[in-house]
Structure 1
Amino acid sequence: MNDFQPMRTSEEATADRPWLASLVGVHDANTITLDLTRFVAGVHYEAGNLLQPRNVVKSGLPLGQIAATGLFAPYAGPTSEVQTVTVTGTPTGGTYTLTFSGQTTAAIPFNATAAQVKTALENLSNVEAGEITVTGGPHPGTAMSVTFGGQFMGDDVAAMTATGSLTGGSTPGVTIGTATAGGAATATDGTQIFAGFLATESMFAPGSTKTTGALLWHGEVFAAKCPIPFDPTDVASVAPGVSIHYR
């Protein structure tokens, strides 16, 4: 880790960083260079505006190091499970249910929206609010994607099953598919190895491909308050020297 130049950061610089659990280790942050081609607007950084034209990379981002270049990019740990729900046969009425890990939802309309499917799943006793993201739809014309986060983040979760009571159309039914299997890191370029967190916000001009930052590799972090979802229990590979504790 210490092949980087040490970077001193002031205690005042810890303002607006709710993910940082303590100041321990902040003074041990190291200067790094970020590969901005790997960062996504609205996810990893906030785009500038007329009053403040520079883009701002969010502090608290988990990072990995690209082996071929030595530059740093967003950590690419285990993927979260994404399953699809498709209503087939163009039904004109009826309902269906989804069963996940032994729990079955209330009846879901044949023409449900993504919001309705999300609510049905989050009403299960084994799912907490905010742990499920549903996109796509509405049924029956368009499939929906169900992404498992929260306690299921980065896990290979059990496949849902569906039971339909659909009417009309031509042999209507509901199928479940796996769009992305959870639990495995898809990156092989080094970013699948956790290297630490971006200690402070980093600003850059639009069009830039690189900028400097500070790597927090020793300290305490509130994982639940990181700017993007991060589950430390899913981290299988950690760079040498990294010592991060979580609350």
Structure 2
Amino acid sequence: MVMPPITTTTDYSANKLWLASTHGTETNQSVTLDVSKFTQGTHWKPGSGPDQPYSVLKSGIPLGRLTESGLYAPYTGPSSETQTVTITGGPTGGTFTLTFSGQNTAAIAYNATAATVQAALEALNNIAVGDVKVTGNAGGPYTVVFAGNFAGDNVAQMTANGAGLTGGTTPAVNVTTPIGGGTPGASDGTEVLAGFLESDTHFVPGQPKAIASLRIHGLVNPAKLPVPFVQPLPGYTTADIFYVTT
């Protein structure tokens, strides 16, 4: 027998750091979540034992409404652009540079760490600190994710110059774009922001649905949300407080 959705919630104010203002409480609305769409670790954590058997969805999760079922699931708004920088030819020395929208980085060592590449990009006058996140091993490949002012944007692909690389066999640097920015993460309705999960919400493990409160009006600090969030509004950065009026 399928049990009805559990409605137990726990309102821990300490878990609402993402909420920049209490304004809008009166415009919250009750919604039903499709629990199967949420990922353990990213969106929820299991209960801590016999005394706390319920799993808990994290307060502040951005939500969208599934067109087919009318249930709510994690928001899958526009993706942030991801570019990959790959050094080929096995160089043993020298440097390379990257160019973004006409601006050239300083020389970057062939075996630079991801942090060094990120710092070189952030030193450009058209990339602010927080606008890119670079990961990867020293010497690459480097994965460059555009965030901050570029979150959700389809940005220009960087170019690279490996003329300063030495050793190896015809060393070079290539840039590709495996994920283009601005593309919605889904087409099932969750690409449209509906609001934010108001409180930590308990649900029975294995239960397909849970009833929760949706914050649809108020001030939100995206940098403090429990999951990465691409702004649905132009002109904002992930460090900004923005006003949600869905």
Could you state the TM-score of these two structures normalised by the residue count of structure 1? 0.80
Q: Does 1:97 align with 2:97?
A: yes
Deviation by residue 1:9-56 (Cα, 9 ceiling, x = unmatched): 99x765542322332321332222222332233432345545866443
Q: Please give the secondary structure, in 1, of the residue aligned with 2:116.
A: helix
What's the Cα RMSD here? Answer: 2.8
User: 1:133, 1:146 within 8 Å by CA — same for their partners in 2?
Assistant: yes
Please say if residues 152 and 230 of structure 2, whose CA atoms lie closer than 8 Å, have aligned partners that are also in contact. Answer: no
Question: What are the superposed Cα offsets for residues 123-166 of structure 1, whole Å, 9 maximum, x if unpaired?
Answer: 22322323322223332xx5221110111000001111111111
User: What does residue 212 of structure 1 align with?
Assistant: 211
Deviations 1:146-193 (A, max 9, x none): 110111000001111111111111110000001101012131111112
Larger mean Cα displacement after TM superposition, 185-194 or 196-205: 196-205
Write out aligned runs for 1:1-247 (5 A).
Answer: 14-49=13-48, 54-139=54-139, 142-164=140-162, 165-228=164-227, 229-234=229-234, 244-245=244-245
1:96 Cα offset (Å): 0.6
The letter for the 2-side match of 1:124 is L
Alignment CA distance shift 1:101-1:200 (3 Å): same
Gap change, CA 1:156 and 1:216, over 3 Å in 2: same
Distance 2:97 2:143 in 1: 16
Are the structure 2 counterparts of residues 122 and 42 from structure 1 closer, same or farther at C-alpha, using a change threshold of 3 Å? farther
Taking structure 2 as the reference length, the TM-score comes to: 0.81
Unaligned runs of 5+ in 1: 1-6, 236-242
The total of aligned residue pairs comes to 229
> Does the Cα contact within 8 Å between 2:15 and 2:200 map onto a contact in 1?
no
CA distance in structure 1 between the partners assigned to 2:147 and 2:47 by the alignment: 29
Once the two structures are TM-superposed, the CA of residue 114 in structure 1 deviates from its matched residue by: 2.0
Change in CA separation of 1:209 and 1:121 when aligned onto 2, cut-off 3 Å: farther
Q: Distance in 2 between matches of 1:44 and 1:217?
A: 19
Q: Secondary structure at the match of 2:36?
A: helix
Report the 3-state secondary structure (helix = DSSP H, G, I; strand = E; otherwise coil) of the residue aligned with 2:194: strand
Unaligned runs of 5+ in 2: 1-6, 236-242
1:240 counterpart residue number? none
Partner Cα separation in structure 2 for residue 22 and residue 183 of structure 1: 29
| Aligned residues of 2:64 and 2:74 also touching (Cα < 8 A) | yes
Distance in structure 2 (CA, Å) of the matches to 1:44 and 1:123: 34
CA shift, 1:233, in A, is 1.2
Question: What are the superposed Cα offsets for residues 170-221 of structure 1, whole Å, 9 maximum, x if unpaired?
Answer: 1100000011010121311111121111111112354444322111122333
Please tell me whether the aligned partners of residues 224 and 230 of structure 1 are also in contact (alpha carbons under 8 angstroms): no
- The sequence identity of aligned pairs, in percent, is 48
* Distance in 1 between residues matched to 2:199 and 2:71, nearest whole Å: 17
Cα gap change, 1:14 to 1:99, in 2 (>3 Å): same
SS in 1 for 2:133: strand
Q: Following the alignment from structure 1 to structure 2, what is the Cα–Cα distance between the partners of residues 136 and 49?
A: 35
Q: Give the secondary-structure state (helix, strand or coil) at the position aligned to 2:165.
A: strand
**Which shows bigger deviation, 121-130 or 155-164?**
121-130
User: 2: CA distance between counterparts of 1:138 and 1:54?
Assistant: 43
Alignment partners' CA distance in 2, 1:225 and 1:209: 28
